[in-house]
Every structure is written in structure tokens, then in C-alpha cells.
Amino acid sequence: MVFAFRFFLPMSWKQIRVNKSLFAAKWPLILLLGTTGYCLNSISVYQAVRFTTTINTSFINAFNPILIAFVGYILHHERVTRVQFLGFVLSLAGVLCIIFQGNLGLIIRLKINPGDLFMVGSVIFWSIHTVLYKNKASGLPERPMFTLMMLGGLLITLPMTLLENRAYHWSWVSRIKTVHVLGILSLNIFPSVLAYQFWNGALKKISANRVGIFLYLIPLYTTAISILLFGESLRLYHILGGLLIFVGVLLVTSNGSEKNSEKVMLSQD
């Protein structure tokens, strides 16, 4: 994230100076967006893949459009139709199927892989970030806002990083290899720079729900890469859970057949 911030800062500095009073007034929001989207979300993802498979994380990530719609309802009281509520239930069932590997015994014993829980946390943080950005920040200048959100994430992440490394006496420094440096550069260029830029750019053009639809493509790409490069296996519970999530996403993000029928509110009307 430091690399990405230093990359965008020179390009954004002029606009930041011109709009400094505007951004100063929005600083609590910027810090919250940086914390959810650039700190907690990233930490949760990288912790998740330490304990679970990349296929698991990608399928759980496909639950994101559902949570985006749910968070939109929680924060902004958006209406939820019966069809959309059914989609939420089906997708949640799909996530639980993947987390518990389709095994009833694991559900009864509540035996959960911690990596799957970290990934669920990542989905929650990213959903909050997306809805907040769309409803509170999409009207602000895009590039300087993008840069300042990274700064907000860094302000939260760096103290945590220093404390962690102090606890481990910086022992990782002596084990750095070329492959690690290349990996860090890749993470800075693709997820930290390009992916966030494309995502926030899309939110400027279309609704958060429509942007979220594209997230269900992630399991397709991730599964193919994981099988080809890492030798992971696609299990029956992945397929069943993925189908439930996919159907749920379609129900939640479509206009639905009940467009002109009675809407169901999950809170007081």
C-alpha cells in the first residue's frame, strides 16, 4: 500500500491542495473508508489464505454482492423484495455449505476453518466500504479521494505493523528472497493500484449493486488458477455452495418479477 500511495500522490497532490478544505471536512469519512477498504479488508484476505484454500476464499468472496445489498439496506434503508430476501437466504446457505464443507457433523460441532472466518470478515469490510463510498464519497474528485483513502488505511495499518514486527523482532527481514520482493511488487501493482482504481471508477458510473455483480466472476478465475498452478482440488461442496451463491446473487441483483408488486421491508415502514 505504501508503494501505491507514493505512486498516486504526485498525480493527486495538486487536486488535494485545491480541495483541501473539502477533504479536511470529509476526513472522518476518508479515514473510515481507508480503514474498511484498505486496512481491515486486506489484512483479512491475507490472513484467510494462510489457513484455507484460495478456492474457498474466492467462493466466499462471491457472497459480496449479497452483503453489499444487505449493508445498503442497513445503512440507507433500501427496500428488499421477497425475491431478494430469498436470494440472500440461498447465498448464505451456499457460504455455510463451503465453510462447513457440506458436512452436517462439522455444523453440529461448529468446527470452522479460521481462514474461512477471516474471509467472511473481509467480505463484510469490503461491503461497508463499497456502500459508504457510493453513497457518501462518489461525488468527490476521484483520484485525490483514492489517494487519501490509501493514506487513511496506512495511518491505521502502520502502527499495527510496527507492533507486530516488534513482537517478532523483525525476524522476517533475514529471510527475504527475490521471489518475496516480486510477490510484494505484484500485490502493490495489481490489487493495490489497478483493482482499487477500476473498482472505484466503476462506482462513479453505475450503482453499487451492479458493480457487485462482477464479483461472482472471481471464483471462476481463481479456481482455474488454483487448480493449474497450485494443485488445489474443486470439491462437490464448492460446486453446490457456488451454485447457491450464484442463484442468490442473480435474485438479489436482478429487478425481479416483483418489481411492481408489494415490497417487503425488513424494518418499520
CA atoms of 190 and 177, how far apart (whole Å): 20
Query: What would the grid cell of residue 248 be?
Result: 442468490
What angle, 0 to 180 degrees and rounded to 10, lies between the N-to-C axes of helices 54-61 and 82-99? 170
Question: What confidence tier does 216 reach under pLDDT thresholds 50, 70, 90?
Answer: low
Q: What share of the chain in percent tops pLDDT 90?
A: 19
pLDDT at 213: 66
Q: In this structure, which amino acid lies at residue 73?
A: Y
Residues of the chain with pLDDT > 70: what percent? 88
Say if CB 12 and CB 150 are below 8 A apart: no
Q: Is the alpha carbon torsion for 126, 122, 250, 211 positive or negative?
A: positive
Query: Is pLDDT of 258 > 60?
Result: no
Residue 13 binned pLDDT confidence (cut-offs 50, 70, 90): very high
pLDDT of residue 164 exceeding 80 = yes
Asked if residue 212 has pLDDT above 70, the reply is: no
The conformation of residue 174, written as its DSSP 8-state character, comes to: G
Q: What is the pLDDT of residue 252?
A: 77
Nearest to 238 by CA among 47, 39, 57, 29: 57
Tell me: the pLDDT tens digits for 166-189? 888 788 788 888 888 888 888 777
How much is the mean pLDDT over the chain?
Answer: 82
Q: Average pLDDT, stretch 83-89?
A: 85
Res 33: pLDDT = 94
Looking up cell 495538486 gives 14
Q: Indicate whether 266 pLDDT > 50.
A: no
Long-range contacts of 100-109 (CB under 8 A, 24+ apart): 101/235, 101/237, 102/235, 102/236, 102/237, 102/240, 102/241, 103/237
Integer CA distances (angstroms), 148 to 121, 136, 187, 257, in order: 23, 15, 19, 41
pLDDT at 257 over 50: no
Question: What does the pLDDT read at residue 256?
Answer: 44
Q: Which amino acid is at 81?
A: T
Is the pLDDT at 267 greater than 50, yes or no? no
pLDDT at res. 81: 78
> Could you give the CA distance from residue 139 to residue 144 in angstroms, rounded to a whole number?
12
Contact 84, 69 (CB under 8 A): yes
pLDDT at 108: 67
Query: What is the structure's pLDDT at 245?
Result: 85
pLDDT at 29: 94
Q: For residue 138, is pLDDT > 90?
A: no
Q: What is the pLDDT of residues 29-54, one digit of tens each?
A: 999 999 999 899 989 998 999 999 88
